[in-house]
């Protein structure tokens, strides 16, 4: 009951704070094209982002033509309402190999609100042995559709804000989905490269008052050897897997307390009607639970992140950028 009341309160709060209203969604989006061969408005993705005015108030649709873009990209906090889109994720690849600090190593960093990423591969090729973030999402109301997010350790820093991931492929080995956002992962494919019991998630909720947590709805989990579903980066870590296929890579215990038994009484680790050989709950740790149908109801829609009020559809009308914005990357 406490969880139900919590999420009803969360939904009410989030619905009241959304800024992406219907009028904005229906307006013509400003179209910018990125093409490495010089046939677009810009040759680099970052140059197109830099061209968006500060405190932007209209949807800017940046279409990225196929190619491998060796860039370290930041979407600044003062540039909301940007959509960055490829046509096929395998064809449009944003790649880097930085490592070290989790906040600085990301190949792609989103600080702005109301960002949308579509059909992109975002990767960090650093490999094993270092923290190497592919995607950091620190803005509110961010959504990703059909993206591939790839690294080894700390792949996706789902840092803060409300986020939605749909039909994404996310790959890594150690804590590869981590942070303290309030996020819904729907129909995503999680592939663990763990060689022996590393955790897929490390959610960082640090107090009962924080309105954060990860929900995986209708997802699929595969991997190369064995892994657990989550471990608590924060003592009140909250992760839910619902209606998700779990291959036999998931260890029978399911969850790990990160060597701190005191967190067993404060974490919120739940499963609901998951299936597959890794979903067998007979040997799950006693401090995780299966949700009843009534308890699960609040987690089975976008309401849990207030998403119906801010997740925007693809623009149907476009307008060409003015020469003041579309000046080609040579001016930067």
Better pLDDT: 10 or 232: 232
Over residues 72-97, the mean pLDDT reads 98
Using DSSP's 3-state secondary structure scheme, residue 234 falls into coil
Residue 5 has pLDDT above 80, yes or no: no
- Number of neighbouring beta carbons within 10 Å of residue 246: 24
Most distant CA pair in the chain: distance in Å? 64
Residue 1 has pLDDT above 50, yes or no: no
For residue 221, tell me if it sits in a domain.
yes
For residue 228, tell me if it sits in a domain.
yes
For residue 281, tell me if it sits in a domain.
yes
**Spatial contact of 66 and 87, defined as CB atoms under 8 Å apart:** yes
Q: Which domain holds residue 299?
A: 2-28+67-309
What is the rounded CA–CA span in Å between residue 73 and residue 56? 18
Over residues 61-81, the mean pLDDT reads 98
For residue 10, tell me if it sits in a domain.
yes
**Count of domains observed in the chain:** 1
Determine the pLDDT at residue 320. 87
Which runs of consecutive H residues, i.e. helices, occur in the chain?
Answer: 2-17, 22-26, 45-51, 293-296
Average per-residue pLDDT for the chain: 91
Q: How is residue 326 annotated by DSSP? A: -
Determine the pLDDT at residue 303. 87
What is the rounded CA–CA span in Å between residue 139 and residue 161? 6
Residue 325 has pLDDT above 90, yes or no: no
For residue 45, tell me if it sits in a domain.
no
Confidence of residue 131 (pLDDT cuts 50, 70, 90): very high
Residue 281 has pLDDT above 80, yes or no: yes
Tell me what percent of the residues of the chain surpass a pLDDT of 70: 89
For residue 123, tell me if it sits in a domain.
yes
For residue 40, tell me if it sits in a domain.
no
Over residues 244-268, the mean pLDDT reads 98
Distances in Å between the Cα of 319 and the Cα atoms of 114, 163, 210 are 20, 27, 41
Confidence of residue 2 (pLDDT cuts 50, 70, 90): very low
Q: What residues act catalytically?
A: 175
What is the rounded CA–CA span in Å between residue 73 and residue 106? 8
Using DSSP's 3-state secondary structure scheme, residue 191 falls into strand
For residue 167, tell me if it sits in a domain.
yes
In sign, the C-alpha dihedral spanning 223, 262, 274, 239 is: negative
Q: Give me the CATH number covering residue 116.
A: 2.160.20.10
User: pLDDT tens digit string along 12-47?
Assistant: 333 433 444 444 455 899 999 999 999 999 999 999
Residue 166 has pLDDT above 60, yes or no: yes
Confidence of residue 326 (pLDDT cuts 50, 70, 90): low
**Spatial contact of 246 and 276, defined as CB atoms under 8 Å apart:** yes
């Amino acid at each position: 009951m406490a969880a139900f009341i919590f999420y009803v309160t969360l939904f009410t709060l989030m619905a009241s704070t959304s800024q992406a209203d219907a009028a904005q969604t229906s307006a013509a989006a400003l179209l910018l094209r990125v093409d490495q061969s010089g046939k677009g408005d810009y040759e680099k993705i970052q140059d197109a982002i830099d061209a968006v005015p500060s405190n932007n108030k209209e949807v800017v649709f940046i279409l990225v033509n196929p190619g491998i873009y060796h860039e370290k990209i930041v979407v600044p906090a003062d540039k909301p309402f940007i959509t960055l889109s490829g046509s096929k994720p395998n064809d449009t690849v944003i790649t880097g190999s930085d490592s070290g600090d989790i906040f600085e190593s990301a190949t792609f960093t989103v600080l702005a609100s109301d960002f949308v990423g579509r059909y992109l591969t975002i990767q960090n090729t650093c490999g094993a042995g270092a923290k190497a973030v592919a995607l950091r999402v620190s803005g509110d109301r961010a959504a990703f559709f059909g993206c591939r997010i790839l690294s080894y350790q700390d792949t996706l820093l789902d840092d803060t804000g409300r986020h939605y991931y749909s039909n994404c492929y996310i790959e890594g080995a150690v804590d590869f989905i981590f942070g303290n956002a309030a996020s819904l992962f729907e129909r995503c494919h999680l592939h663990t490269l763990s060689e022996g019991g590393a955790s897929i998630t490390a959610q960082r909720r640090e107090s009962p008052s924080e309105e954060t947590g990860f929900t995986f709805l209708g997802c699929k989990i595969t991997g190369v050897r064995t892994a657990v579903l989550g471990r608590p980066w924060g003592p009140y870590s909250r992760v839910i897997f619902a209606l998700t296929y779990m291959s036999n890579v998931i260890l029978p215990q399911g969850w790990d307390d990160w060597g701190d038994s005191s967190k067993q009484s404060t974490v919120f680790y739940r499963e609901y009607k998951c299936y597959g050989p890794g979903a067998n709950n007979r040997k799950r740790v006693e401090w995780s639970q299966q949700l009843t149908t009534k308890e699960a109801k609040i987690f089975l829609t976008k309401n849990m992140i207030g998403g119906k009020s801010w997740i925007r559809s693809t623009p149907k009308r476009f307008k060409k950028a003015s020469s003041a914005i579309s000046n080609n990357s040579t001016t930067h």
